[in-house]
Amino acid sequence: MKICDIIKSDQIIAELSGTSKEDVINELINLFKNDERVINLEKVRTAVLEREKIMSTGVGKGFAIPHGKTDAVKEIIAAFGKTKNPIDFAALDEQPVHLVFLLVGKDSLVGPHIKLLSRISRMMNKDEFRESLINAKSSEEIYSIFQEEENNYFEIT
């Protein structure tokens, strides 16, 4: 499964308005208010925020990947956003976050969920890729950057 199979440009926010970790997570979750793949948006919110309480998903290098698993979605969903100003995400490297990738998996789809987390992490470890995302001006441009990165560097599975 590819990232571009589960995220579209209307699930990308080129400039998040939130100023805290919880604000930006909620802003990304709210993109799914009228999404037919979501059975219960508040259960999605709870799953992601509860997972965040266990350990910060700020993985370092200015990137966070808040995620959770729940039966409140029909399939894996994702959203992405970037902040204008850095946000304290209690990241592992203690650096603020600019790039936030939300991933919500279905309870019964653990394997694909873990593979997507791994794929996103590998992509975000590339300095040039992160820099391209930070410099992007629109949701469409961000989506194109994800597409190009997947096409150039990952085999289709």
Return the residue matching tokens 């997972």.
Answer: 51
Position 133, amino acid = L
Q: Which of 67, 82, 106, 130 is catalytic?
A: 67
Q: Is there a catalytic annotation at residue 67? A: yes
Residues with Cβ < 8 Å from 103, sequence gap 6 or more? 65, 66, 67, 76, 77, 78, 113, 116, 117, 120
Position 9, amino acid = S
Contact 55, 92 (CB under 8 A): no
Catalytic residue numbers, as ranges: 67
